[in-house]
Structure 1
Amino acid sequence: MKNTISERVADFLKDFPPFTNLTEDELLRLAFEVTILYKPNNGIIFSKDETPHEFFYVVHKGAVALTDKDAKHLTDICDEGDIFGLRPLVANENYQLDAIAHEESILYAIPFREFKPIALDNPLVGNFLIESFASNTRNPYSQKYRGSLYGVSNKEVVPPENRLLDFQKVSYSTDLVTCSENTKLNSLAHTMTDNHVGSILVIKKKLPVGIITDKDLRNKVLSGEVPITGTAKQVMTSPVITYPKDLTITQAQMAMMKSNISHLCLTEDGTPDTPVVGILSKHDVMVALGNNPAVLMRAIKRCNSTKELRAIRHGIMNLLRGYLEQNIPIRLVSKVISELKDAAIKQVITLVVASLESPPPVKFAWLSMGSQGRGEQLLNTDQDNAILFEDVPKAQLKKTSAFFQNLGELVTKELNTIGFEYCPAEMMASNPLWCHSLKEWKEVTNFWISNPGPDEVLLSSIFFDYNVTYGEKVLVDKLSNHIFEEVRKHPLFLTHLASGALQNPSPSGFFREFLVEQDGQHKDFFDLKQRVLMPMIDAARVLILSHNVKSINNTAERYEKLAELEPQNSELYLACSYASKALLKFRTIQGLQHNDSGRFIALDQLDKEEKIKLKRTFKTLKEIQELLQVRFQVKSFLG
């Protein structure tokens, strides 16, 4: 039975990140050096501007408040398993905050000199710390601290953005079809046909010396350059380009692009001096994942029915799961998945338009709104869309409107067939309220902007995140220019929009506990969308509108643009960009795990690390909401 103090310390630490990634021996060695401290309520652990201790701290029992006494501001409360006081040791700076026991507390003081070599040798620990920086760093990839982790170059820990996009090994054919340099061309052509292959390897002394593809035969034999009675040596591409057999899909694609070839010869060590083990074609690469985005995109464009598209949407979801399992950066994931979904929607509209008895009477645009308009709809959630069509004479408006409302009904029905749920609030092009001419849309948005009540603010907040999925972008540009001009004329609208962004319920109580739903179907669940995601999205929208930026809809990209426009607030905006991506990824993973929208989270199913990462975004949200309050002089709605 374990009874030594160090073993009990190790038993505690092993359940909390980043110590979960240490070996048993590493944990025991570290635990042996730990000092156990008792702090009474209001006991001081360290003070602002104090030289950092040799230790950083983990809360074993109780809670520690991190405050800025000068600003009279509570920054954070650390509870069981939380780390604090590490960043000053890493960054070689004095403490930036006061650490005071919020109640009677027992702390583990861990010597940094013992922890540092473990963290340097363990990339999982390093990645956790560069993401969190062990409390109080709202932006994990802050320019200020990038490259200074542990006081060494950040090449020790590679941020996720620098990882290869595909780690999956590519499958290749081991059934080699070969010939010699002296094989007659008519003979090898028959061999390729009989074996249903598009290439043949030329072998000499069991080593590859060349390769012949269908393209070579077309270009050199059918053109008359080489007679059909010629030999393989006269046609083959030589020397043959060889690669190792453990290529990833991405490496194979890059190799083919680099050399402008369609086949790769794989050898035991990647050189032409060892025997061939397989041949890899461009087709093999494209289908290797089964759900390759390029393959899916081509399949979408070839679809002749919504039934086919529904099957492809399953492929898109499988691709999403694969990307998340490989920990591909969420920005790249969202771009790929959004492009595929946009393509699916566009194909649905194309099929519906082609099925109509008569073509559209005037030019029009289909607008995807909400999360799809922002490029953030990774899961199969409901559809938000609208139709904008060219102005027509008043006498033709009723008939033209009827045509496009019918088109909206047909398209939304087919979108539902392929997996896009109907919007419960009917904010869809099938609703006459979301199908207008350019003039009508200008009148509608004018009313929202000049009479910004709660309903108008809600409607405009959804509408302003639109993306042109199909049709005339010029029409949409005209509407966008009009909207931004009206916003400029009515600055009070931004205040109301900011007010709406501040009315979402708080994500946590004073003691950092998650505030959950108190009744209804989702009682005791945490509403990730309403309490954290939407406030972050709403804040980005009103801030980007205030800068008259028209072309950026994605929340993370909006914050990054704001960081450029307001250098004095860049750290906060970059933190918001990171937080919005982290929240999107978190929701997507939860939704895939539970086969739902990922909105409502069962907290008892989250581990400590997941809770830490989720809570980390709360501080960023609070700060961006405080900025909105001050900038737009909005009455506080923050509970």
Structure 2
Amino acid sequence: MTNTIAERILDFLKGFPPFDYLSYDELLHISTQIKVLYYEKGDHIFKQNEALHDYFYVVKDGAVGLYSDNTLIDECDEGDIFGLRAVIRKDLYLLNAIAEEESIIYGIPAKSIDDIIINNLQANQFILASFATNTRHPYSSENKGKLFANETILQPNASSFTEVQSASFSKNPITCQPIITIKEASVIMSQSNIGSIIITENNRPIGIITDKDLRHKIATGKHDISEHVTAIMSAPVITFPKHITVAEAQIAMLNHGISHLCITKDGTINSELVGILSEHDIIVIHGNNPSVLIKEIKRASSANQLQMIMQKAQLLMKNYIEQNIPVGFITNIISAINDAITKRCIQLSIDELQEELPTSFAWLAIGSQGRKEQLLLTDQDNALVYENVQNDAVVKSYFLRLSKAVNNKLNVVGFEFCPAEMMASNPKWCLSVSQWKAQFKNWITHPDEDKILLCNIFFDYDFVFGNHDLVDQMSDSIFEAIDNYEIFLNFMGRNALRNPPPLSFFRNFLVEDSGDHKDQFDIKARAIMPLVDAARLLILSHEIKDINSTMARYKKLGDLEPQNKDLYDSCINAFRILLRFRTQHGLKRNDSGRFIDIKNLNKNDRLKLKGCFKPVKDIQELVKIRFKLSQLL
């Protein structure tokens, strides 16, 4: 006689490791022995220092929090295993396991572990990995149900990955006092055979001189070698604590355009210097890294050369994705490379025009590029702002020619022309600062559907090249206009709710009902953009500028609104998962990754996506309440 309950349990478990490694007969044998348990919210499954149960556990429905005293260590949801380590150790429980909501839990007999270990190598590796690490994947919010040590792609010889390891730095930096001369410092550098010297005061770093400073400031005659080192030192220095990772070092060097980081006792400029980390130190760790690509970009003399570098960057990004590097690291690295390529395209175009710049200007990345969230090569979105001038027509003509040259080069690199012409070569988006201000004011004080859409795109701008002061003036004008017309935020709020939560009443994915993508799920419009739009709206309501990325906006919102921090953190996690999922899908299909064929997803991926949708629903509910939108919908 068929055991229907056991088959239902089997059908559930086979979607999760280590059970997905087992044969049907092995899994059926275990399923017939499983105890089905029900817990109400707040119930303990086991307590800290409690004697070992005869079971380890899997969450069927609901959620279980693992606590050390009152500190939440981890949260387990559908398919997650807990209580396993204690079974392997055959010792007391080290944590409290508490039902976070009504939950159904499968209790799996401890003796079945012996069967798993003996009979199945892959399951054996999973269990041993659990015992060895005592943790799921450290980015488990992105990869529920998998262990870090179980990711075969992270085996030591699988790749050249080094970004999350601690960077090795020189623990005996050469230093000097601010009162010595440049000549004296140069002699010290020469005798020590080093390319930099740190100027310290009371053992604290106040500046740095490198070979580059000597070439550009002394050899050119700008300064005399008899002057004090303070005359040419770069200050303030950029400091980090001892345990800086390779990725953090790379990002800092790329963002600040520097080649040396000072390592101090507490990571601040006000504490004792303990070491120095150079770009060379990073390159020694591995040759194929972002720093090398940035150097190649700076040396590139044509768009075709930049195209080849971009292909390397895309390969680097693909490797990062495959190695499960955190999405935040990946976006920072790829954005820095994209910005460097754009800067080089601009400089090459300025040189080609062979004309003197008529006035100062700033180049802006907008949309996903402006938010530093563009991983896959999609179309380019950019704009240009120039200083107010009297002969506007002549100046605009120059910047339109410059923009066209830049857009053409970016197209060669791999960024397709924007179909909607959201590019600086379009006269609409190449304006003086006063014209941008007037345009923003018009959008804000006379909003309609088209203008709100433009706000969503252009209010995510990011400075790339030129005069940053022009961008600050633009930002100030936005907040000034909003202060005088606060109802604008309500219009933006209504627009942020244009896409409902991605699940239907029956918890099915909302898919496209017609067109080329019929029955496919639009992960951008239905899941990613609602999070993006809400973050933009909420950060604008706090009048915060210069924070453009969605994750950074939610992090700042968590600081500003501690009562909503849990919600904002869940939005960050959901966004990370969705962005990674879209990128993986795009790499697999060699497209934008926007449309997902749900029926081709495995159960784990469907559950992973569905887990992201609650924050989407909750953040939209917060927007609806805060901006009093119920009556407007």
Place the TM-score, normalised by the shorter chain, in its bin.
0.5 to 0.7
Q: Is the 8 A contact 2:570 2:615 kept in 1?
A: yes
Q: Is 1:429 the counterpart of 2:428 in the alignment?
A: no
Q: Is the 8 A contact 2:522 2:595 kept in 1?
A: yes
Q: How far apart are residue 131 of structure 1 and its match?
A: 2.8
Q: Deviations over 1:415-445 (max 9, x none)?
A: 1111111111111111111110000000000
Secondary structure at 1:387 match in 2: strand
Secondary structure at 2:629 match in 1: coil
Which residue number in structure 1 is paired with residue 387 of structure 2? 390
1:418 and 1:20, CA in 2 relative to 1: closer, same or farther beyond 3 A? farther
CA distance in 2, matches of 1:464, 1:92: 46
Q: Is 1:33 the counterpart of 2:33 in the alignment?
A: yes
Larger Rg: 1
Q: 2:335 aligns with which of 335, 338, 343?
A: 338
Which residue number in structure 1 is paired with residue 137 of structure 2? 127
Q: 2:597 aligns with which of 597, 602, 607?
A: 602
Q: Is 1:296 the counterpart of 2:306 in the alignment?
A: no
Q: Deviations over 1:180-207 (max 9, x none)?
A: xxxxxxxxxxxxxxxxxxxxxxxxxxxx
Alignment of 1:274-293 (within 5 A): 286=283, 291-293=288-290
Q: Is 1:555 the counterpart of 2:550 in the alignment?
A: yes
CA distance in 1, matches of 2:246, 2:523: 34
Q: 1:469 aligns with which of 457, 464, 480?
A: 464
1:129 and 1:93, CA in 2 relative to 1: closer, same or farther beyond 3 A? farther
Q: 1:566 aligns with which of 561, 564, 573?
A: 561
Which consecutive residues of structure 1, in runs of 5 or more, have no partner in the other structure? 38-44, 67-80, 100-106, 141-155, 172-217, 222-248, 261-281
CA distance in 2, matches of 1:529, 1:476: 28
1:5 and 1:532, CA in 2 relative to 1: closer, same or farther beyond 3 A? closer
Q: Is the 8 A contact 2:371 2:549 kept in 1?
A: yes
Which residue number in structure 2 is paired with residue 209 of structure 1? none
Q: Is the 8 A contact 2:142 2:573 kept in 1?
A: no
Letter in 2 for 1:537: V
More deviation, 120-129/564-573: 120-129
Q: Is 1:407 the counterpart of 2:402 in the alignment?
A: yes
Which residue number in structure 2 is paired with residue 420 of structure 1? 415
Secondary structure at 2:372 match in 1: coil
Secondary structure at 2:107 match in 1: strand
CA distance in 1, matches of 2:149, 2:537: 34
1:354 and 1:625, CA in 2 relative to 1: closer, same or farther beyond 3 A? same
Which residue number in structure 1 is paired with residue 504 of structure 2? 509
CA distance in 2, matches of 1:350, 1:377: 22
1:56 and 1:385, CA in 2 relative to 1: closer, same or farther beyond 3 A? same
TM-score by length of 1: 0.67
Letter in 2 for 1:489: N
Secondary structure at 2:344 match in 1: helix
Q: Is 1:373 the counterpart of 2:377 in the alignment?
A: no
Q: Is the 8 A contact 2:44 2:96 kept in 1?
A: no
Q: Is the 8 A contact 2:296 2:309 kept in 1?
A: yes
Q: Deviations over 1:230-274 (max 9, x none)?
A: xxxxxxxxxxxxxxxxxxx969x99xx9999xxxxxxxxxxxxxx
CA distance in 1, matches of 2:40, 2:155: 43
Q: Is the 8 A contact 2:372 2:549 kept in 1?
A: yes
Q: Is 1:318 the counterpart of 2:315 in the alignment?
A: yes
Q: Is the 8 A contact 1:13 1:19 kept in 2?
A: no
CA distance in 2, matches of 1:90, 1:314: 49
Q: Is the 8 A contact 2:62 2:101 kept in 1?
A: no
Q: How far apart are residue 511 of structure 1 and its match?
A: 2.0
Give the alignment's Cα RMSD to 1 decimal.
4.5
More deviation, 350-359/505-514: 505-514
Q: Deviations over 1:64-117 (max 9, x none)?
A: 799xxxxxxxxxxxxxx9449979x99746644346xxxxxxx88324978999
Letter in 1 for 2:33: E
Q: Is the 8 A contact 2:136 2:148 kept in 1?
A: yes
CA distance in 1, matches of 2:148, 2:476: 45
Q: How far apart are residue 527 of structure 1 and its match?
A: 0.3
Count of aligned pairs: 487
Which residue number in structure 1 is paired with residue 538 of structure 2? 543
Secondary structure at 2:630 match in 1: coil
1:563 and 1:112, CA in 2 relative to 1: closer, same or farther beyond 3 A? farther
Which consecutive residues of structure 2, in runs of 5 or more, have no partner in the other structure? 47-54, 64-76, 84-92, 115-126, 163-189, 194-244, 251-259, 264-278
Letter in 1 for 2:307: R
1:381 and 1:322, CA in 2 relative to 1: closer, same or farther beyond 3 A? same
1:470 and 1:388, CA in 2 relative to 1: closer, same or farther beyond 3 A? same
Q: Is 1:590 the counterpart of 2:594 in the alignment?
A: no
CA distance in 2, matches of 1:8, 1:371: 46
Q: Is 1:97 the counterpart of 2:101 in the alignment?
A: yes
Q: Is the 8 A contact 1:18 1:125 kept in 2?
A: no
Q: Is the 8 A contact 1:21 1:124 kept in 2?
A: no
Q: Is the 8 A contact 1:165 1:250 kept in 2?
A: no
Q: How far apart are residue 331 of structure 1 and its match?
A: 0.5
1:532 and 1:543, CA in 2 relative to 1: closer, same or farther beyond 3 A? same
Which residue number in structure 2 is paired with residue 456 of structure 1? 451
Letter in 1 for 2:335: S
Alignment of 1:206-225 (within 5 A): none
Letter in 1 for 2:438: E
Q: How far apart are residue 489 of structure 1 and its match?
A: 2.0
Which residue number in structure 2 is paired with residue 77 of structure 1? none
CA distance in 1, matches of 2:302, 2:580: 31
